[in-house]
């Protein structure tokens, strides 16, 4: 019983850690381009067009990444 609870707690901790990492990667993937854009602008340099496009593409996807991360365990459990 005690060993079963320990294994369940360890499994739950692992799931939480994986989810936290996924949210962190989603945040970095989404906001790194916008941050680079701001830093380059503040420094006074011209922002490369690729950074503008990457920022414009990834920033609106924050909610999508969050939905995917949130729903993934539920979808896997439903299978």
Per-residue pLDDT tens over the stretch 63-78:
999 999 999 888 888 8
User: Which residues fall within 8 angstroms of residue 55, CB to CB, at 6 or more apart?
Assistant: 33, 34, 36, 37
Percent of the chain with pLDDT over 70: 94
| Cα distances (Å, whole numbers) of residue 16 to 10, 13, 66 | 10, 5, 14
Percent of the chain with pLDDT over 90: 70
Of 32, 29, 36, the C-alpha closest to 69 is: 29
Q: What is the mean pLDDT of residues 5-20?
A: 83
Q: What is the mean pLDDT of residues 47-52?
A: 97
Task: Name the pLDDT band for 30 (thresholds 50, 70, 90).
Answer: very high
Q: What is the mean pLDDT of residues 8-21?
A: 87
Give the span between the Cα atoms of 30 and 25, in whole angstroms: 8
The average confidence (pLDDT) of the chain is 91
């Amino acid at each position: 019983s005690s060993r079963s609870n320990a294994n369940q707690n360890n499994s739950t901790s692992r799931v939480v850690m994986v989810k936290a990492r996924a949210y962190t990667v989603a945040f970095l993937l989404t906001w790194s381009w916008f941050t680079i854009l701001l830093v380059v602008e503040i420094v006074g340099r011209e922002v490369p067009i690729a950074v503008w496009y990457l920022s414009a593409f990834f920033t609106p996807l924050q909610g999508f990444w969050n939905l995917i991360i949130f729903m993934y365990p539920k979808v896997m459990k439903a299978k």
